[in-house]
Structure 1
Amino acid sequence: MDKALEIGKVSATGSFQLFIGVATSTIIMAVGTIILARLMTPEEYGLYSVALIPSYMMILFREWGVNSAITKYTATLRAQNKPEDTCEIIKTGILFETATGITLTLISILLSSFIAATVFNRPESASLIAITSITILAGAILTASQSSFIGFERMELNALTLICQAIIKSVASPLLVFVGYRALGAVLGYTISAIAAALIGLAALYLIILKNLKIKNPEKTSLSETLKKMLHYGIPLSISSILGGFLAQFYA
């Protein structure tokens, strides 16, 4: 009974912390977006919005359920007191997300001119699309870190990354637009916030969680076997999210 009560208290606390993080970051982002829209002309804001679409679409194909697997297996292995296996799951997940992020980022950069000219009929947005492509990789690293935080029930770290990203974006984008960079400034602020959040998430994951894991006898587990197990769990979960995200972008 005491154990069930303790689990309930931890879950409730974590949910509240995550709610605070999401709510706070949403409010900050809303304020930042309003300020940004007032500083830009409709044409500039439209160009900025167009530049974000390709990276949003690429992100849908980055998610193969590995982040869900990170959360699931870290929570399970923690309960079983297996820090070595927990560390292996996180390492494999981050490596996979990084590799996928790099691949899709390069594809997006290489296709930026084609997408800008042919798909959107806005050739001037090519450089902006190329810049926002970096957020595909940054988002991959950040999401893997956040999934690990959830698995360790450290929701406050998840909230921290959300709030930091919102603050940086809401300050950097309007500031760069104000000093004269216009649509480029908005895109740079958006990209900088994604990179900063990824670095903060990765640093927090290492310094607060991984560094404190008591790994006594590290075992050399096959990376491919670990990844195979994670994909076997995650891919069925990812199919619906990929389809839902694609349809949301298509009908938006």
Structure 2
Amino acid sequence: MDIAAQITDLTVDIAVRGGRAAPVVRVLDGADLALPAGDVTALIGESGCGKSLVALALCGLLPASSRISGRITIGDDDMSAAGERAWRQLRGRRIGLVPQSAATSFTPVRTVGSQVAEVCRRVNADRTAEQLFAAVRLPGDVGDRYPHELSGGMAQRAAIAAALAGRPELLIADEPTSALDPDNAATVWGLLAEAAADGAAVLVITHDLASLLAADACGQVALMRDGAVLRQGPVVDLLDGHDEYAARFFDRVPA
């Protein structure tokens, strides 16, 4: 199994105020997570357990006040002590990020097409913005629209188009269906599954596990609690009936 990205024994402490004597909060505590290429991994857990911090760590976007130990690997590259310049070279090209609030991730005073075209230029994409919009099944005129003119589902697909511009080996989506109706959610899960089928490792942070599994788009699930990944594996392995914490996330999943 080809592992596209991995965190190993990752511990992150963040100073909550300035100064040398600032109190420190531990947000990740020896977390381990391996993301295989060509598969979708769902990261689940209670609110505040550290899921979004894992995403930030894998993008090199942890707060400047973070104190980090452990290992962060993207492909064969150890990024544990990498600076912002090195991370910037990966983001967009080898790492794609679909933010939680897709509509607000676009500048409101520019058309969506101009913004995705700018991403394409920055990452030296081999597809145009129009081709990317077509790939995520958006209408031909979407590039001429402003962000506020898009529905929630259209904005989410436009954000996915931007994240796919560089054909990243790691694609991270943070709550990509949180504000979508079931039909749009199914479309988004299908697009992320297509990215995995094209070879990317896809990490989705979600509370919408039922619709993800209904879309048959998820190969693995990783369960977090208190800053650590408790278990990772196929869905059936987390449905063994012996873990009350895991069971609460599957109680609305159809049998």
Fold match by TM threshold 0.5: no
TM-score, normalised via structure 2 length: 0.24
Which one has a bigger Cα radius of gyration? Answer: 1
TM-score, normalised via structure 1 length: 0.25
